[in-house]
Structure 1
Amino acid sequence: MSAPRQAPKSFRLHIGIFGRRNAGKSALLNMLTRQEVSIVSDVPGTTTDPVEKPMEMLPLGPILFIDTAGVDDAGILGAARVARTRQVLDRTDVALLVLDAGRWDAFEEELLAVFRRRGIPVIVVCNKSDLAPPPSDLIARLQSERLPWVQTAAAMDQGREDVRAALVRCVPEEHIHPPPLIADLVRPGDTAILVIPIDKEAPKGRIIQPQVLAIRELLDHGCLALAVRDTELKQALDRLAVPPALVVTDSQAFVRVAADTPQAIPMTSFSILLARQKGDLTQFVEGALAIDDLRPGDRVLVAESCSHHPIADDIGREKIPRWLQEHVGGTLHFTTVQGHDFPEDLSPYKLLVHCGACMWTRREVLHRLLRCRAAGVPVCNYGMTIAYTLGLFERALRPFPEAERAYRAARLRRDASVATQT
């Protein structure tokens, strides 16, 4: 294990540490990181909120350990801790289920069932093995069900390498080979123009995560990445002897970029690229069509994955609400949530508009999409919402034939349904 590097959380394998109170979860985290990251105490419930520790673990690369409060916590404060712990499940790629001296009963069975329902790989960590080895019948059961397990005595600094080896064997394939952001839309040697407006929302001295990811992926793929402001796009296009294979813009500059980009050149936005990489593009397409179903007075949920201080004309709090209300022709009621906060009850909302989630893992985005589908709430992301309300949706989907076909099929179904009702 080496010193942590500044890799974004979205690149890190999220490893959640779960178990009952006082099972030794915090001691396990401290052992794995070789640091006193979490407070260790004999008093049950010492860990109150999830504790995160980013680090590098070879050969896994950048990872994020998340030490959780005991899920068997009790009382009002305990209920709040349990709720926070359950939020961690939404973003867990691999779960460490920590046992207290081999103890396994209905509580551990329930946790295991939760991991299985969510498709989360789990490693059973039989901690405090210096006090009591895991029962033979438990080991037989774990082996028969092919559940990975290891023995540790975290307080005695024993078992670190066994846990690491088990993690290496359990890494999800999608973490090793994540979906591409842009590389499959171009060929080596192609030019892609990235339109990056420099306005009051642009961070001083740097560019935002989606733009960085696109540039790096294009370079890795042997493409030419040409970054311009929206005010210089037409000039850049005029100077190119060969038209670019793709133009990608910040969604807020859609109108100007669409006007300056010839129809023959595919065009989309960074946010739509993220919608495909992080989530389900077809579900987002269906969500965009549901914008036409909004009526004045409806409630819309806006979800921002990053916490930030809103500025004047903020995209999620002012621009998108304004464009949606112009499209609907009346007042809508907006609720905004940030970070990992998300309503338990989605039924009051007619639409969820989600940010691109560039700093999140695909698993957490897919979990939210699953919850929306289960609740019957359409979901769309920022870029697709903007493109739809500005009348640029079909053009923005052109680089994605599958999504374009899904849009046309869904549009035909909706038109047929309207015709039947009338």
Structure 2
Amino acid sequence: MGLNSTPSSERLHIGLFGKRNAGKSSVINAITGQKLAIVSEQKGTTTDPVYKAMEILPIGPVVLIDTPGFDDQGQLGKQRIEKSIQVLNKVDMAILIIDGNLGISEDDYRWIEKFKEKNIPYLIVMNKLDLVKNADKKWENKLDFIIWVSTRTGENIHKLKEEIGKIAPFKEEMSRIIGDLIRPLDFVVLVVPIDKSAPKGRLILPQQQTIRDILDSNAISIVVKETEFKKVLQYLGKKPKLVITDSQVFEQVSKETPEDILLTSFSILFARYKGNLKEAVKGVKILDSLKEGDRILISEGCTHHRQCDDIGTIKLPRMIANYTGKQIQFEFSSGRDFPENLSKYAMVIHCGGCTLNKREMKYRIHCAQKQGVAITNYGILMAYINGILKRSIAPFPAIAKILQ
């Protein structure tokens, strides 16, 4: 991610759904004014969901998701439809594209019901207006948010973008990573280890975003490695309002941070920002009741090159085995491959979800809740095992009550 780029996780995710050849790819090209998507008369050109990060006025930074047609056929077609259904778990809004020549079908109505079931704001776009000027439009009275467009002539494309802007859910932009915890000119110390797992030449996304939120709050961020942290505290002429650490050095930083200074981790901040901190704190307690042979799913939102002492696949299993003294079975998922059926797991341990948008992170938490499976977060688990969870969630008094 470039320093001047809006990360995909912070962009509005807009999914385009419809039958094969309804014009989904053509609508993407028309909205963006670029030939981003392959357009063909042959059915089934889009075989997998395709993600395109764009800036679209008046909406702003978005991710457009072009999906396979939901009338695809055969065994491969069934798998493609399942991929389209999975996209529903991450989109902030949906656009249903219908071929105006054919009109609305039962399949279209079923997908409208899916949008409603998942509480996804949606628009219905009747495409190919240039070919159906005198078409029977009797179904319009039965549907909301419908607009006719022509991707061939560009008619009503600007109106479509305006309608997207009207129903786009922007309310979550008001949430902050740390801005509600600090005041102007507060000092915030960020402890950032630079080890083999650190990306060369840059900070990881949670660190970048936290620094930006501190700047937006007119506060002062001091970024330091764990090896210099103790000296920095001594040199500061003012007590920091908060110390934020990478979870991997939680134990050390906790020992070196005076008790009268608030302490938390990037992972815990993101559990609050992206997901459900209360649920994650409740979920970690299941560690004390694990039995021999229990399964744990360790899940990451991104895919990355595994290091020899990778936190998800090596460090966490080792810490859990040492803490519980039990033979636990570990399974792993990364990227978009999050299993919907979690019933075989005693608990799920998830990363901070910095590369996932809020809707997808909350969907994953909901899956666990619905199936009665405890779910927690990397940083919360590491703080709990190190005996410092109560201190680490002290900046959030309402959540801290859970451990009292």
Normalising by structure 2, what TM-score? 0.96
Which residue number corresponds to residue 128 of structure 1? 128
Residues 1:48 and 2:47 are matched in the alignment: yes
Higher helix share: 1
**Do the aligned partners of 1:96 and 1:124 also contact (CA within 8 Å) in 2?**
yes
Residues 1:172 and 2:173 are matched in the alignment: no
The one of 326, 330, 335 equivalent to 1:334 is 330
Q: Distance between the aligned counterparts of 1:378 and 1:132, measured in 2?
A: 53
Q: Distance between the aligned counterparts of 2:71 and 2:295, measured in 1?
A: 35
Q: Distance between the aligned counterparts of 1:61 and 1:173, measured in 2?
A: 11
Residue 172 of structure 1 aligns to a residue in which SS?
Answer: coil
Shift of 1:131: 2.3
Which residue number corresponds to residue 7 of structure 2? 8
Q: CA RMSD in A?
A: 1.4
Which residue number corresponds to residue 371 of structure 1? 367
The one of 214, 221, 245 equivalent to 2:241 is 245
4+ aligned runs moved over 3 Å, structure 1? 133-136
Which residue number corresponds to residue 141 of structure 2? 140
Structure 1 residues 296 and 33, CA, compared in 2 at 3 Å: closer, same or farther?
same
Shift of 1:287: 1.0
Letter in 2 for 1:92: V
**Do the aligned partners of 1:87 and 1:340 also contact (CA within 8 Å) in 2?**
no
Structure 1: 5+ residue stretches without partners: 409-422
Which residue number corresponds to residue 75 of structure 2? 76
Deviates more, 1:262-271 or 1:196-205: 196-205
Which residue number corresponds to residue 107 of structure 1? 107
- Cα deviation, 1:367-393, whole Å, max 9, x if unaligned, reads 111111111111111111111112111
Structure 1 residues 78 and 191, CA, compared in 2 at 3 Å: closer, same or farther?
same
- Cα deviation, 1:294-329, whole Å, max 9, x if unaligned, reads 122111111111111101110000011111111110
Which residue number corresponds to residue 419 of structure 1? none
Q: Distance between the aligned counterparts of 1:60 and 1:292, measured in 2?
A: 47
Q: Distance between the aligned counterparts of 1:77 and 1:156, measured in 2?
A: 34
Among the aligned pairs, what percent are the same residue? 41
Q: Distance between the aligned counterparts of 1:397 and 1:296, measured in 2?
A: 30
Q: Distance between the aligned counterparts of 1:296 and 1:230, measured in 2?
A: 36
Residue 130 of structure 1 aligns to a residue in which SS?
Answer: helix
**Do the aligned partners of 1:28 and 1:155 also contact (CA within 8 Å) in 2?**
no
Matches within 5 A, 1:86-105: 86-101=85-100, 103-105=103-105
Q: Distance between the aligned counterparts of 2:204 and 2:171, measured in 1?
A: 24
Q: Distance between the aligned counterparts of 1:256 and 1:165, measured in 2?
A: 52
Tell me the matched-pair count: 399
Deviates more, 1:212-221 or 1:157-166: 157-166
Q: Distance between the aligned counterparts of 2:375 and 2:109, measured in 1?
A: 33
- Cα deviation, 1:385-414, whole Å, max 9, x if unaligned, reads 111112111111111111111333xxxxxx
Which residue number corresponds to residue 157 of structure 2? 160
**Do the aligned partners of 1:296 and 1:329 also contact (CA within 8 Å) in 2?**
no
Q: Distance between the aligned counterparts of 2:174 and 2:319, measured in 1?
A: 33
**Do the aligned partners of 1:296 and 1:331 also contact (CA within 8 Å) in 2?**
yes
Shift of 1:212: 0.7
- Cα deviation, 1:83-136, whole Å, max 9, x if unaligned, reads 211221111011001111162232112111111111110011011122225643
Q: Distance between the aligned counterparts of 1:336 and 1:53, measured in 2?
A: 27
Residue 404 of structure 1 aligns to a residue in which SS?
Answer: helix
**Do the aligned partners of 1:297 and 1:333 also contact (CA within 8 Å) in 2?**
yes
Residues 1:362 and 2:362 are matched in the alignment: no
Structure 2: 5+ residue stretches without partners: none
Q: Distance between the aligned counterparts of 2:226 and 2:266, measured in 1?
A: 14
Residue 112 of structure 1 aligns to a residue in which SS?
Answer: helix
The one of 305, 328, 331 equivalent to 1:309 is 305
Q: Distance between the aligned counterparts of 2:290 and 2:391, measured in 1?
A: 23
Normalising by structure 1, what TM-score? 0.92
Residues 1:119 and 2:137 are matched in the alignment: no
**Do the aligned partners of 1:210 and 1:358 also contact (CA within 8 Å) in 2?**
yes
- Cα deviation, 1:261-298, whole Å, max 9, x if unaligned, reads 01111100000000000001111111111121212211
Residues 1:194 and 2:190 are matched in the alignment: yes
Letter in 2 for 1:109: Y
Which residue number corresponds to residue 149 of structure 1? 146
Deviates more, 1:239-248 or 1:127-136: 127-136
Residue 91 of structure 2 aligns to a residue in which SS?
Answer: coil
Residue 230 of structure 1 aligns to a residue in which SS?
Answer: coil
The one of 220, 223, 231 equivalent to 2:219 is 223
- Cα deviation, 1:177-213, whole Å, max 9, x if unaligned, reads 2411011111111111101111111111111111111
**Do the aligned partners of 2:150 and 2:157 also contact (CA within 8 Å) in 1?**
no
Q: Distance between the aligned counterparts of 2:165 and 2:24, measured in 1?
A: 20
Residue 288 of structure 1 aligns to a residue in which SS?
Answer: helix
Q: Distance between the aligned counterparts of 1:264 and 1:211, measured in 2?
A: 24
Q: Distance between the aligned counterparts of 1:363 and 1:135, measured in 2?
A: 37
Residue 337 of structure 2 aligns to a residue in which SS?
Answer: coil
